[in-house]
Structure 1
């Protein structure tokens, strides 16, 4: 299934994208796409509905919001070999883990705001993993994949000065408002046969900036979920941003092409849809 939420910010309603590209209204079938829905085995119940009998929504002017609001966002840094190389960092022996504030989440086509005082706002296309059942001290990667509800696109927007030059942890360069465009779709795990064979691409003002594959991950999805479950409990509705391939502004020669107001960022992952954000000043 390809699930989404549509409507004005804070008033989104659940929907489903059918095989013909029409948006079907899920109101009256489920309350929302959220942690409670996932925890109650909602995906299994939803898989039995007659999609063709659902009302079709008019797409004209219809905003697509984030497919859900995460309980927490766990991020993995330096998880692509080419990205580690472009930043001059050694490959990590264990996953580099940091947290991103859940209120950074916005819709896939909502504006991204450059923080006040920022001169180094950067982009990062990432495969997002949505947790569907509790993950706690998982024994192996097979058990880890059984906890995955599905996949989505995340743009892990980052302010590099805040992240790397201002002391402390990475979180303050990752948690500015609007810094996690998410969606448009939550694609259920059964429709993504191999999360390690997906192409990720990102453009800024039409110029290709990132073009990578999840094959290049240092730690694959299953290992990330298994590993994290030994340090924290992952709950239904939690999201993991799994890292970014090469091509971020930080890795470019000087002067680095950091984002400025008016820039347009477009993001795409195979089978998961496409994002488009216009950058504005906070």
Structure 2
């Protein structure tokens, strides 16, 4: 019996990345990984405007990157950049009676932070911990319905169905999660092209999450992190003792690491694709595939 293939597709401004996984006994095998550079006139990531400037070419590029990996598999997990929507961490007084009630309450509570009119915005959420005062922390992903439909319809035209859709920072976090000691505080800083995300976790629960676009310059990352730490250290002083991990697809990895070590005033650990053989990957930084793999793993 042929084993099922699990596909993850990570869309970024500077490259599309796709990964194919299979079960090998109790292990997971990376059976293929591909990258493709999209033309700027094909796609423009935005939370407020149409993204697919040339749908025909986008569909063609999806087939080009996924076709050699799919082997008749149609289900994929799609990763979108945070610039197409919003990731929000909020608090509520109590749990919800139904998922729909939760959506309605959160849309009302976060209406000024959503990427569009609440009625035209799709949100998903999960409870991720509790504050010292007893409030529940909720992680919310939001995207305009018309933008989400653009991707779903185009993927369907290409012959694939996106059964799971999430943002880059979340699938990246999912991939690296087994590396962390969830009994301790830790920080994950991701610099992927011009996308910066910062996760602060206390005892395995996120207490702060930020994702934004930045210039592809070490100085820009340093300044953004310095501003963030001034705010966060006041609210969560325990993070001063947290371990710091870094993911990056930059070739100037060591310069970036040194900048982070100045910011955090401690050693920064660089993450890699420790779970999978990367000999077949031609990219200088194979960890560029982490979010695509993390997305595919979530289908298993």
On whether the aligned pair clears a TM of 0.5, the verdict is no
- When normalised by structure 1's length, the TM-score is 0.31
Between structure 1 and structure 2, the one with the greater Rg is 2
Which structure dedicates a bigger proportion of its chain to helix? 2
Higher relative contact order (CA 8 A, sep 6+): 1
